[in-house]
Amino acid sequence: MPGTRVAVVGGSIAGCAAALALYRTGHHDITVHERTSGELSARGVGVAVHEGRYTELAAAGYLDPAMTHIKLRGRHWYVRSPDSGPAAPLGRLIRTESFDFRTYNWGPLWRELRARVPAGVRFRPGSAVTAAAETSDGALLTTADGTTDRYDLIVGADGYRSVVRAAVHPGLRPAYAGYLAWRGAYPEDRLPDGALWDPASAAYVVFPGGHVVLYRIPGDRGGRRVNWVLYTAPPPGPGLPLDSPGGPPPGRVGTVLREHLAALTAAHFPPFWRRVIDLTEPGELFVQPMYDALASPGVTRRIALIGDAATVARPHTGAGAVKALQDATLLEAALRDGAALPDALSAYDSAREALGRTMVGLGRSLGTALVTGAPDWRTLDDAALAAWWRAADAAGAFGGTRTPERTEPPRDT
């Protein structure tokens, strides 16, 4: 569909992938609206990609070996035991298993994807979109400066707080899951006794009512960083506004939440893992309420949703970035078939929704198993934990599921 005028709302990983997919299918009049005027690559949290999904996304031309990453080989499950102390700083090891993932730093990964978007695509930083709407002869996009522009196609890649979603699925609001993720990342050289923890392994440290996932990611300009995500319910009483997606930015986590985190690690963590969390500076700490949402439908005749704008799945799935990139491959495949735009978007949405529904279901299942309905971890041994995980991930979808086979290789950009 050469000559089609396209707007992509959101310039992060999903937005860059969407722009690349559109350009490859002959849409060269593309404008990307990104509300943030600062440097997106400053975000330094971790992204994990299952090796199987990496292979598919690399074949599709969205990832490649040049993108800086760390290969993980194993996952180790720990719980605090009565003898946790100097003699057992990591706690009791419940289980060791293979864990075939690559980890990335969000910022450098975004820079790599941004660099692959052809120069002809127009990026507009600081262009906040306030509304989208479809008309009989196009789609309208309104920005914060009051300007309304007409496009032939709008792709909403504006995340879990999507504005574009309202034009596709009015009234859909992500539902709060009842707990938070505390997140932090910092340079590895801050970590004492780092040799206790193999850089090629992820650690799951479990405690009553939650768990924390810890792994290394590449540094922004070399070296490695410690990255962790801790899931548990917030303390009772007034706190974050949880009726709509959001959370305080890094460095703005309030005293109540910081003190709750410190008390939790002191009460339930083996010494080494408590130290890993405690070394996170206030400016490196943020919290993220957990939500679920699945836009069905996720398209109209001229508007399509991609990534978290279309499907909000909890990070337990290990497939957040994968989901956005897979959506881009599905959008590319649908547009490449040469069907009329409404039919192409409908075909994209059918495939996208099937994958999204699986990931939302997995996120809910793992949320129950790991947080809201967590077992007494102290009673589990290797065999019991293995059986518990098989039940929690009954679909075998952890890390993402396969996308449909491509019928032709990606075109050069």
The tens digit of pLDDT for each residue in 65-119 reads: 999 999 999 999 999 988 767 778 999 999 999 999 999 999 999 999 999 999 9
What CA–CA distance (Å, rounded) separates 213 from 273?
10
CA torsion through residues 318, 204, 179, 375, sign: positive
* β-strand partners of 204: 77, 213
Confidence of residue 286 (pLDDT cuts 50, 70, 90): confident
The pLDDT assigned to 408 comes to: 45
Residue 20 contacts by C-beta under 8 Å, 6 or more apart in sequence? 61, 62, 113, 116, 117, 328, 413
Q: Which two tokens stand for residue 298?
A: 């996720």
Residue 209 contacts by C-beta under 8 Å, 6 or more apart in sequence? 232, 233, 371, 374
Q: Which two tokens stand for residue 119?
A: 């120069």
- Any alpha helices (H) in 312-340, and if so which ranges? 320-336
Confidence of residue 269 (pLDDT cuts 50, 70, 90): very high
The pLDDT assigned to 245 comes to: 57
Q: Which of 217, 162, 213, 208 is CA-nearest to residue 187?
A: 217
Burial class (CB in 10 A: 0-12, 13-18, 19+), 195: exposed
The pLDDT assigned to 194 comes to: 87
The pLDDT assigned to 406 comes to: 45
Query: Is 0.95 topped by the overall pTM?
Result: no
The pLDDT assigned to 242 comes to: 58
Q: 37-51, 190-204, 261-275, 277-291 — which is least confidently predicted?
A: 37-51
Confidence of residue 410 (pLDDT cuts 50, 70, 90): very low
Burial class (CB in 10 A: 0-12, 13-18, 19+), 395: exposed
Which domains does the chain possess?
6-43+107-174+292-369 (3.50.50.60), 70-105+177-291 (3.30.9.60)
Angle at 23 between CA 19 and CA 28, to 5 degrees: 105
Residue range 283-301: average pLDDT?
93
pLDDT digits (tens, 9 = 90+) for 159-218: 999 999 999 999 998 889 999 999 999 999 999 888 999 999 999 999 999 999 999 999
Q: How many CA atoms lie within 13 A of 360 on its CB side?
A: 21
> Is the CB of residue 359 less than 8 Å from the CB of residue 311?
yes
pLDDT digits (tens, 9 = 90+) for 307-324: 999 999 999 999 989 999
